[in-house]
Amino acid sequence: MREHNSTRLDYLDAARSFALIQGIIFHASLSFMPIFIGWAVMDISTNERVPLFMLVSHSFRMALFFLVAGFFSHMTFQKLGLSGFLKSRLLRVGVPLVIGWFLLRPLLVSGWIMGAESMRGEVHIGNALLEGLKRLGQLPNEFLIGTHLWFLYYLLLVCVTALLLHYLIRVHTPTKAKVTPLLDSAINWLCHSRFAILVLCLPTAASLWFMDHWGIDTPDKTLIPDIPVTLLYCVFFLFGWLLQRQSSLIDGFVSLSWSKFILCIIAVAVTITLSGFETSRGHPQYIWLKMCFVVNYAIMMWTLVALTLGLCKRVFKGPNQFVRYISDSSYWLYLIHLPLVIWLQIAFAELPSYWLIKLLCISTITIFVSILVYDGLVRSTFIGAVLNGKRKPRILFKVSKQQYRTTTL
């Protein structure tokens, strides 16, 4: 999450918002998979292009989020110091994680129950909600299961990791004298070298190799940290953290070039092609196929992250009030979207309409309703202060004091 100050980098706000809103569309697309994947419900209208969208989208949206989070986290750390930074993370990440679980868990469980019922031709909303409330008694078991709030848990983990590394280097003076210039030089080189993406993909590919599946695992089964996932997102977070130490260098990393576009297109094409071999464990070249897959997947991740940041910087060059409003609301949108998405997927599942129309309707309704709730009940309240750093005036439901007095007389 980002702390607001006098100098906002609107294009980074836009990139973070894009990553979170893309997550809403990603989850909304899950019911249109051509094969049943264990999601809450499977729509009667599916399409074979949905898995391709999911493969590419899932590769970089959270990586982009963690890189931007690392950038703004170091900015906050410099501004507030250790105690202020810890207080900020606990308030803006820890509190939404705990309270969000209690509020969203019953709705998500009820959605899963109703989804199973809908595929049998019957839905009992009251019973599903009651069962969802009963599941609250299982705390702390299944704390992350069935929710999307794992990203907050892992954000806390990588923040702690960054702080530990920072103080381990700082405490030992000889180490600090050697390591700090080395890190600064490495980041400087990575932001200007044509081979930066290829270098960055090496630790990323190493983490991907140890995932349970080809691609990035979703660590929502247990509170025990998933080591490959933690290391993967630590790489992006720490890169963003180090970038902010020399903030002018980010311009080099996000610069747009034809070589990045071409490399990205090749990596996406190869990754999609090789993904079909995941289940072919008996293939004589399976190990080599997986090795090529994780390397290309890592290149795809880094090029898509860099290009997204570059395009946002190109489009959002100066202050933009609309971008700032969407940025402020995007955290709330992502926190509450999943129950809305699942309930809408159940409502649309049996309708005889084209899958893309349904996907657009589910995504649009979810975002529209979430923004209305945000503007009316969150933005100007203590909840908005927790999520955004301070209370903000309503925009959509703005009522002046004079109008209020007139309507109450």
DSSP code of residue 69: H
Find the range with the poorest average confidence among 160-164, 227-231, 251-255.
251-255
Q: What is the DSSP string of 166-194?
A: HHHHHHSHHHHHHHHHHHHHHHHHHTT-T
This prediction has a pTM of 0.89
Q: Which residues contact 304 (CB under 8 A, 6 or more apart)?
A: 56, 59, 60, 64, 264
More confident residue, 218 or 114: 218
| Residue 137: DSSP 8-state | G
Distance CA 92, CA 106 (A): 22
pLDDT exceeds 50 at position 5 = no
Task: Enumerate long-range contacts of 356-361, CB under 8 Å, 24 or more apart.
Answer: 356/47, 358/32, 358/43, 358/45, 359/25, 359/28, 359/29, 359/32
Measuring CA to CA, which residue among 2, 24, 65 is closest to residue 148? 24
Cα 397–chain centre separation = 28
Tokens describing residue 63: 């990586």
**Single-letter amino acid code for the residue at 4:** H
Q: Does 225 have pLDDT greater than 80?
A: yes
Q: How much is the pLDDT for 341? A: 94
The whole-number pLDDT of residue 404 equals: 39
Place of tokens 């892992």: 154
Residue found by looking up tokens 């932001």 in the block: 191
Look at residue 119 and tell me whether its pLDDT is greater than 80.
no
**Structure token digits, residue 230:** 């933690």
The overall average pLDDT reported for the chain is 86
Give me the residue spans of the domains in the chain: 10-20+47-325
pLDDT in tens, 273-289: 999 898 888 888 999 99
At 62-103, the pLDDT tens digits run: 999 999 999 999 988 988 888 888 998 999 999 998 888 888
Cβ neighbours, 10 Å, residue 155: 24
Q: Tell me the H-state helices in 90-124.
A: 95-118
Per the structure block, which two tokens stand in for 321? 């009030």
pLDDT per residue as tens digits for the range 377-400: 998 898 888 888 888 888 887 754
Task: Give me the count of residues in the chain.
Answer: 409
DSSP states of 12-63: HHHHHHHHHHHHHHHHHHGGG-SS--S-S---SS--TTHHHHHHHHHHHHHH
Residue whose pair of structure tokens reads 């009522």 in the numeric block: 399
Interval 177-198 mean pLDDT:
77
**CA separation for the pair 59, 51 (Å, rounded):** 12
pLDDT at 287: 94
Give the pLDDT of residue 399: 54
Q: Report the alpha-carbon distance of residue 109 to residue 135 in Å, rounded.
A: 8
- Residues 301 and 295: their CA atoms lie apart, in Å, by 10
Q: What tokens were used for 106?
A: 């019953």
Residue 165 to residue 176: CA distance in whole angstroms: 11
State how far the alpha carbon of 3 is from the alpha carbons of 70, 72, 89, 368, 392, in Å: 12, 7, 10, 25, 14
Neighbours of 62 (CB within 10 A): 27
pLDDT of residue 408 exceeding 50, the answer is no
Q: What is the dihedral of CA 149, 154, 157, 161, to 10 degrees?
A: -150
Phi and psi torsions of 23, nearest 5°: -65, -35
Kind and range of the H or E run holding 159: helix 150-171
